[in-house]
Structure 1
Amino acid sequence: MGLLVCLGIVALIGVLGFLALGIWQVQRLGWKQALIARVESRIHAEPVPAPGPAAWAAWAASAADEYRRVRLSGLFQRDRETFVQAVTERGGGYWLMTPLRTDAGFTVLVNRGFVTPEQRNQLTGAASASGGQVTIAQVPAAQITVTGLLRLSEPGGGFLRHNDPVADRWYSRDIAAIAAARGLGERGLGEVAPYFIDADATQGPAGFPVGGLTVLRFANNHLVYALTWFALALMLAAAATFVIRGECRLRRAVENEH
C-alpha cells in the first residue's frame, strides 16, 4: 500500500497544482477584460487637460491615467526633436517625438506620429531642395493644441537593443533619457512630464508625420490557458484513479489466489 499512497499523494499534488494554475488564469482573464473595457472607455471619452506637476506623484505611483485622452496647448520645440525607431502597419521608420512647452509652464513629449526614413531626412533638412527652399524643420513655432492618448515611459530600449543617447540612436520612448539628452527642463522650458502623448490621427502640412497609430490590441488567451490547466487536472485525476483502481484489483486477485 505504501506505493499506492505515494502515487495518490503525488497525483493529488499535481491535480491541486493544475487547478491552482487554472484558477489563476481565470483571475487573469477577469483582470484583462477589465483592462480592455477601461481602455476602450478612455479612448472614446472626451479629452481632459493633461496632468500637471501637482498630479505627477500620484499618477506615477498608480499609472491610472494611461490611455486617457488628453488635450494640451503650447509651442513645439522643433529644435529638440527625437526620432525613435518604430515598426508600424506602414512599415519601418520612426516616431517623431517633439517637446511641447505647454501654456501651463511644463513640457510634455508628444509623439506626433510616424515618419519614413525619407521623410525624416526632409524633417531634418537633409533632403531640402536646392535654391534656398525652407525646410519643414525651419518653420517658425506657432501656438498649437494637441489631442491624444497619455502613455507611460518606455525606459531602457527595445528588444536586445539599448538606447544610445550619445550616438542619438533611440529604440524606445524613454522620457527621462530623451529629456536629459535634449536638455529639456532647462532654459525656461519648465518641468518635464513623466509621460508622453500619442497624438491623434492628424498629419503635418506635408502629409506627415502620421498620428493615431497607437496599438490598442491586448492579447487575451487566458481562457484557453485556464481550460488547458483544468483539462490537465482532470486527465491527471482520471489517470491516477485508473492506475490505483487497477493496482487494487490486481492485489485483491493475488490475495484471493492465496
Structure 2
Amino acid sequence: MRYWGMIILGIGGTAILLGLGVWQVQRLAWKTEILAQIERKILAPAVDIPAQVAPATDDLLPVRGTGRYVGNRTVRVLVSQKIYGAGYRLISAFELNDGRKIMIDRGFTSVRADMPAMPKGSGQVVGNLQWPQEIDSFTPDNDLAANIWFARDVAALSAHLQTEPILLVLRNSSFAEDAAQPLPKMSANIPNDHLNYALTWFSLAFIWLGMSGYFLYRSRDIQT
C-alpha cells in the first residue's frame, strides 16, 4: 500500500509541476504579445499633443510639441540606472506654442553631476505621454527642501510646477544643449520572467520524478 502511495505521489507531483511549467509557457506567449502591442504603440508616429488628454486612453501616446522651457524650477526624481548608478530624472515645465503648460521628463543625470541648465529658446520635443504609477506604501515623502522627489506623481508635480497634469517622457528633441540623457519608455523595461519561471517548474518536475524513482527503488530494496 505504501509502495503504491509513493507511485501516486510521484506521478501526481510530477504532473502538477509539469502543468505549472506549461502554464508559464502559455503566460510567456501572452506576455510577449502584450509587450509587442506596447512597443507598437510606443513607437507609432508621433502626433500633436491633443487638446484633451486622459490617462485611460492616452497613456504611452507618442506625441510632439513645439515651445520653450519655462520657470526656474526643475524637479529631481531619484532613480537608479544599471550602468550609471544613482541619479535623477529631471522634470521641467514646458510652454507649448498654444500657451498650454505641460511637464517634460528630460531624462537622467548622475547624482555626481551638476544640475544641467534648462535649455534656452524654442524647440520641438518628441516622446510619450505617461502617468506613472510609482507610489506605494514604502515610498518616502518628498524632500522639497533639497528638491528630491521619490516618484513621478503627475498630479503633485503639476501642482508644484504650475502646469497641466500632463507628463511627456522625452525621446528626442531639438534642444541640443540639454545635457540630460533621455530615458524613453520602452517595453524592454517591463519584466517578462515567465521563461525563467517555466524552466524552474520543469526542473522541479524532473527533480521530483527523479527523487520519486529513487525512493521507489530504495523502497523495493527494503521490501526484498
Q: Name the CA distance, whole Å, in 1 between partners of 2:220 and 2:18.
A: 26
Calculate percent identity across the aligned residue pairs: 27
Given candidates 166, 171, 174, the residue that maps to 1:200 is 171
RMSD of equivalent CA atoms: 3.6
TM-score (norm 2): 0.73
Given candidates 223, 227, 248, the residue that maps to 2:199 is 227
Distance 1:87 1:236, change over 3 A: closer
Q: Confirm or deny: 8 A CA contact 1:25 1:226 kept in the other structure.
A: yes
The answer for the alignment partner of 1:58 in structure 2 is: 56
1:69 aligns with 2:41: no
Q: Name the CA distance, whole Å, in 2 between partners of 1:42 and 1:57.
A: 14
What is the SS of the residue equivalent to 2:124?
A: strand
Q: Deviations over 1:93-142 (max 9, x none)?
A: 4222112344567543211233455531x63xxxxxxxxxxxx58x5xx5
Any residues of structure 2 matched to 1:17-166 within 5 Å, and which? 17-53=16-52, 55-56=53-54, 58-59=56-57, 65-66=59-60, 68-88=61-81, 89-90=83-84, 92-102=86-96, 107-116=101-110, 118-120=113-115, 123=117, 143-156=122-135, 162-166=140-144
Please state how far the C-alpha of 1:198 moved relative to its aligned partner. Answer: 1.8
The answer for the alignment partner of 1:127 in structure 2 is: none
Q: Confirm or deny: 8 A CA contact 1:165 1:181 kept in the other structure.
A: no
One-letter code aligned to 1:235 = I
Distance 1:211 1:147, change over 3 A: farther
Please state how far the C-alpha of 1:12 moved relative to its aligned partner. Answer: 4.2
One-letter code aligned to 2:127 = G
One-letter code aligned to 2:77 = V
Please state how far the C-alpha of 1:169 moved relative to its aligned partner. Answer: 1.9
Any residues of structure 2 matched to 1:169-208 within 5 Å, and which? 169-182=148-161, 184=162, 189=163, 191-193=164-166, 196-202=167-173, 204=175, 207-208=177-178
What is the SS of the residue equivalent to 1:152?
A: coil
Q: Deviations over 1:208-242 (max 9, x none)?
A: 23343336434544324313312321332343245
Q: Name the CA distance, whole Å, in 2 between partners of 1:51 and 1:163.
A: 32
After TM superposition, what 4+ stretches of structure 1 lie above 6 angstroms from structure 2?
none
Q: Name the CA distance, whole Å, in 2 between partners of 1:172 and 1:93.
A: 13
One-letter code aligned to 2:47 = V
Q: Which has the larger radius of gyration?
A: 1
Q: Name the CA distance, whole Å, in 2 between partners of 1:171 and 1:92.
A: 12
TM-score (norm 1): 0.65
Aligned length: 219
Q: Name the CA distance, whole Å, in 1 between partners of 2:185 and 2:165.
A: 25
What is the SS of the residue equivalent to 2:90?
A: strand
| Unaligned ranges ≥5, structure 2 | none
Please state how far the C-alpha of 1:75 moved relative to its aligned partner. Answer: 4.6
Please state how far the C-alpha of 1:35 moved relative to its aligned partner. Answer: 3.7
Q: Name the CA distance, whole Å, in 2 between partners of 1:10 and 1:107.
A: 65
One-letter code aligned to 1:171 = F
